[in-house]
Structure 1
Amino acid sequence: MPLTRRLTLLAFAAALAGCATSTAKLSTATVGDYRDTIDLSGKLSVNYQKDGRQESITGNFNWEQRPGAIDVALISPLGQTVATINVTPNSATLVQGGQAPRTADDIDSLTQQALGWPLPVSGLRDWLQGYALDAQGQRFRASPANNSVTTRDGWRLRFVEWQDPAAPQPAPRLIQAERAASGDITDLAIRIVVLPAA
């Protein structure tokens, strides 16, 4: 795969670790330690099949979430910022080096236009804090004793490791998300590592 295409895919894949459909459309937890303001960084890897070929992408991300806005920096394995994403209640904007900004009403539309394969963008704001909406639309709070759920939109989540397993409500360190098929993409697996705060 050409390097430029790999970096483009990396950028969008990294968005998995820090995007949302639109802050106006995101669920808001009213229980536990859910926070509207967070700063996270981490690593992720994405594996999937498309057109009979196995594809793999790795990268890093920085994620800043404030009430009404999410900002994501997408970083190559060599440490270069390859894209930034800003999500507000009204729009999502993606900027890649040397290209004009791309804007859409929501980040789902924007990434679908660019990639043509699904990103679990609408749930990740919750997932990164150990929450999800289950298949019945009920609030799920992950814990070491209750660490897996199938989401409303068909993702199978497993919260594998924790920042501090002994905490009353531990924050996730390793999240694995899988989806069997979506369009021409099959066997999509995402591994997200949330790094501890500095």
Structure 2
Amino acid sequence: MAASIAVCVPGERLGSTSDYHAGPGTYCKQGFVYSSLAGFKHVQETAKDELPKMQIVRDEQETIVPQVGLVVTTKVVNVNPRFCRCAILSVEGKPLRQSFRGQIRREDIRATEKDRVEMYKCVRPGDVVLAKVMSLGDAQSYLLTTAENELGVVLAQSEAGVNMVPISWCEMICPKTHQKEFRKVAKVQSQYIQKEFNKVPSKHSQHRT
């Protein structure tokens, strides 16, 4: 029988080799068992005098996790001059069972003039952003990039609580107040923008932090 089941990602530390044997989909390194696959952590009980076996079980129809090279929909949580933190909500348009942490660094915002990027002129907290997974970073936080024309902010709300409209690759405007704001705007179809917006609560329905 399985003692525990949980979603895990490649490189995630699953336990100590003093507590578990490494099974399929895992490997040992410096006294710990790590996942080598995306899937479900499965602890298989063994004989009484043997350690339980840690393994990764994959169900392609049920398990959806971010993977390198895939496009993800994220919501920006906070922004500082060096990077922004995001919650990954869906992968290739498919919603996740749970959100994963993501990070977009200043140098990965766009492909050109990287040294002139100002984070707060590209993304802001609450923005919905299309990004591509680059790699698994530190502390199980995926490294993301928006350095393609099709990637970037797809939804942003003005201070008036209105969906802003893109007017260029770097600006959006509030149709109510006509105030312009800087963003790294994604070039996507309006139908996709509306579909993604319906998944994300308005910032006025949440407590401000």
Instruction: Give the TM-score normalised by the residue count of structure 1.
Output: 0.29
Which of 1 and 2 has higher RCO (CA within 8 Å, sep 6+)? 1
* Structure with more of its chain in helix, by fraction: 1
Instruction: Give the TM-score normalised by the residue count of structure 2.
Output: 0.28
